Amino acid sequence: MSAALVVRKVETKAEFKTFLEFPWTLYRGDPYWVPPLISMQRTKLNRQKNPTWKHMEGDYFVAWRGDRPAGTIAAFINHRHNEFQHENTGFFGCFEVYDDQEAATALLETAAAYVQAKGCDAIRGPASFSTNDECGLLIKGFDDSPVILMPYNYPYYQRLVENAPGYEKTMDVYSYDITLQGWQASEKLKQTIRVVKKNNERRRITVRTLRRRHLKADLQIFRQIYNRAWDDNWGFVPLSDDELDALIKDLGQYVESRLGIFASVDDRPVAFLLAFPDLNQPLHYACSRPGKPDLLSMIQVFWHWKIRPKINRVRIALMGVQDGYRGIGVEAAMFVELFEQALKLTQEKGWTHADAGWVLETNEPMSRLVEGYSGDDYKHYRFYERALSSAAPPGTP
């Protein structure tokens, strides 16, 4: 007979260590999970060091069976999200659990009770900790490791969440696999390039790549366009200055300048496309884990990234076009530039695949654009939401 289940808030250093390290136990032996660097994960969970926590409040919880952890969850309120989206929603994230319905339900109930007690009328997730970060539940595409900043979970997670009281699908998002071979095999590609370049001249659209020597300035331009281009997008939260600084610190060193593309109309920057080498591939080889020196893991990441490269794909992580400039060919202009840069990069670095995601299931124009460039929607992710009554906490009759 299994031990009784109890969910407790993380309050001690030992409990935080359990929360932090639980995924390494859960995914032990899984060939697709990519363990993050311990130091980066610890910083992400640290409320004093992660800038997103400056506009959030929340707690971490662990489900226990006796003295063994059975799962984890974070419950939090992102005030910046609620202010921008005009919502009163709480979130759950860091949701990791064995195939144990009782534990999963107890964790999700605990998260719902936490945000309801703070006055929220709904809970949504998973997100850790906003749509600018790792979020969504993987529901399709389990036979491949995730790309950088995308989640991974076991297939049974979908069943566990959907069997928990009140949690229903609120939005699906797609990731597309684009291959250079698929692009080159497209019969319409040459014609598309000619049409796009003529349209660029007619519409006075120009494109350029990221300037490595002016990275910070260009990323500021990116933030300004990003915050304007996505301001009416589902779930969008503007990047704060502190979050942009953290992005530059964490990913700036990995940026390949030719994969950062800006589009201008009449010399006014109005759109961007930002891609990164998939650092999850060398991370997979480095296999960071508790007890292993982080410095050794970082050296191994560098080795498999630069010395004996293991990267063969990039992630097209972000793309946005300001309102008023959509539908005039700006998106296509950036994709053509990306294709031309990819031709050079595949010869230099062997990058043959790109992950384009995520794309909202409701964003049909973007889906058509990516599919037009031979993109295959190979991974789906799902967000869930549960309505909460302000009259009584979850579980109350």
Q: Do 270 and 326 form a contact (C-beta atoms < 8 A)?
A: no
Considering only the C-alpha atoms of the chain, give the largest distance between any 2 of them, rounded to a whole number of Å: 74
- Token output for 244: 């942009």
Tokens of 62: 């662990």
- H helical segments located in 233-279: 241-251
Cα(316)–Cα(338) distance, rounded to whole angstroms?
Answer: 10
The token duo for 378 is 């190979």
Residues 6+ positions from 1 with CB-CB distance below 8 Å? none
Could you tell me the pTM of the whole model? Answer: 0.89
Overall size of the chain counted in residues: 397
Per-residue pLDDT in tens (0 to 9) along the chain, 397 residues: 478 999 999 999 999 999 999 999 999 999 999 999 999 999 999 999 998 899 999 999 999 999 999 999 999 999 998 998 889 999 999 999 999 999 999 999 999 999 999 999 999 999 998 877 899 999 999 999 999 989 999 999 999 999 999 999 999 999 999 887 766 666 667 788 889 999 999 999 999 998 878 877 887 788 788 777 766 677 777 777 777 677 666 666 667 888 889 999 999 999 998 888 999 999 999 999 999 999 999 999 999 998 999 999 989 888 888 888 988 999 889 988 988 888 888 888 888 888 988 889 998 888 887 877 778 899 999 999 999 986 444 544 3
Domains of the chain with bracketed CATH: 5-173+382-387 (3.40.630.30), 177-380 (3.40.630.30)
DSSP state of 225: H
